[in-house]
Amino acid sequence: MGSPLPDELKVAREATISAGGGATGGLLRYLFNILVARLLGVEMLGYYALSNAVTQITGRLGGLGLDIGVVRYVSKLTAGKRSAAAIATVRRAIGLGLGASLLVMVLLILLAETMALRWFHDTSGQLRVLIAIFAVTIPLSTVARIAAGASQGLKVLKHRALALQILPTAVLPIGLLLLVGWSGPLLSIGGSFVLSQVVSSVAALYLLLRIFPLHRKPEAAAEPGLMRFSLPLLGASVVVTALNWSDLIMLGALKDSATAGLYHPALRTAGIFSILAYSFGSILAPMISAHHAGDRSEQISRLLKLTTRWSFIFLWPAFLFLTLYSAQVMLMFGVDFLPMTVPLKVIALGQVVLTLTAGAALVLTMTGHPRYALMNAIAALGTNIAINLALIPRYGVMGAAIATATAAGLLTVLRLLEVWSLYRLHPFSWRMGKPFVAALAAWAACLALNRVILDWHPGLILLSGAGLYLTIYTSGILLLGLDEDDRTVLQAVARKMRLAAK
């Protein structure tokens, strides 16, 4: 092929920023979970996981889907030289989101005791307190997501990465370590979480104001279609968030908070795979919207295949590596978490399959079909709940893992069928074969190595395996040969990273 389209360089450059932010935020959040497990124990980790899950789901209600709506309309309006309307649209989104999220916060605080007692059968009072503390973060996170969405619509992803991924997650472990010594388990978890969202909302607004005159009185009306576009996305956003957390919540309801605490690190580990999809999706969404407005379907097809292939380059080897070293990963949280190795592999498989079709989901949403996203999410959530109800009482965490992977598979199939039916598009290409073969070679090499280092310390096993795996995989990719556009993109990314380092 010839030199890549400007779109390809844009995706690579901005996705590098987003992936860096996502990876940093993911590692810091992972560290926070390890610290909670090690310092406060499995049950307290379960209280944290359940409170976070409830807040994540109810918090989406407060956002009204506006964090996604502003991405589309800011991108569309600024592309059409209608900056005044874009300012008015963002201001309206923040106002509506803040009002709705304050109402949700109050309702959640009032219902915290009922949830803790009737849903999760907690009589200690600790879960009730933590849910109420976490509820305070709902307006803060809503404002942060909408402001970051506006920056995303302007195709400036470093602001989103800083405000939503890096800065708040850096506060979590630091806050926990500072507070745990004198405030007790509940306040150390709750206080660090509230502080992280304060930092997130302030940073998102400040960074947006640096590139977008939001403080000016708008000279045009807000886009009238904002709520009409966003409300269907609200349903989809709530249902998708519920899908992500339903297995954990049902484990807490059908078993206990300690079981939810055991399951949470596996869920969080598998969730790392979604970072890459989020990274590409953050820049892909406004670009798809702009191309759709210009009736450029060929560019959408190329972007879809491009981002899926680059996702696969990272996701497939990461999944194979995890199948070899899941025990060592779980031991970072403590020996109590060792039985979670098999459920982790099952959840991770579902996440990989689902993440590879994240671009297809964005095509549906950004080309004016948000109702498809809602129907897909409802079908997957219903499947997940039904399988959880059937399997958790008997199989516990393994039943929850099977339910999650099955729902992910269903959602993947629906997305692929709909994008093909509407646009005759699909995200796959034969060029994914090279990373597929290279990762298998690295997996085989590490499988042989593990027989030699079986008795080593888990940390050394993990580091040794990672070193060999990366060496074999990278060498395999180079031996099989990079495409011309891949080399050009890698050079552009390297230049971007060198400039950032300076």
In the chain, what percentage of residues exceed pLDDT 70? 79
Q: Are 376 and 415 in contact (CB under 8 A)?
A: yes
**7-61 pLDDT per residue, tens:** 555 555 555 555 666 677 778 888 899 999 889 888 899 999 999 999 988 888 8
Q: Are 236 and 377 in contact (CB under 8 A)?
A: yes
Q: Are 364 and 415 in contact (CB under 8 A)?
A: yes
For residue 373, the one-letter residue type is A
Compute the half-sphere exposure of residue 325: CA atoms within 13 Å on the CB side of its CA: 29
The owner of tokens 């959408």 is: 300
Which residues touch 262 (CB under 8 Å, ≥6 apart)?
Answer: 42, 46, 336, 337, 339, 340, 397
Which residues touch 463 (CB under 8 Å, ≥6 apart)?
Answer: none
**208-266 pLDDT per residue, tens:** 888 777 666 766 666 567 767 777 767 777 887 888 888 889 998 898 888 888 898 88
What is residue 215's predicted lDDT score, i.e. its pLDDT?
67
Distance CA 442, CA 464 (A): 13
CA–CA distances in Å: residue 80 to residues 77, 171, 290, 400: 5, 39, 10, 47
pTM (2 d.p.): 0.77
Could you write out the DSSP letters of every residue in 62-78?
HHTTHHHHHHHHHHHHH
Residue 48, both tokens: 């944290």
Residue 177, both tokens: 């370590």
Domain spans, the chain: 6-428, 429-502
What is residue 2's predicted lDDT score, i.e. its pLDDT?
42
**273-330 pLDDT per residue, tens:** 776 555 555 555 556 655 555 555 666 677 777 777 777 888 888 889 988 888 888 8
Helices in 332-395 by DSSP H: which ranges? 341-355, 358-366, 370-395
Exposed/middle/buried for residue 375 (C-beta within 10 Å: 0-12, 13-18, 19+): middle
Exposed/middle/buried for residue 323 (C-beta within 10 Å: 0-12, 13-18, 19+): middle
Cα angle for residues 71, 422, 231 (degrees, 5° grid): 35
CA–CA distances in Å: residue 131 to residues 56, 136, 189, 391: 11, 9, 11, 27
Distance CA 48, CA 323 (A): 27
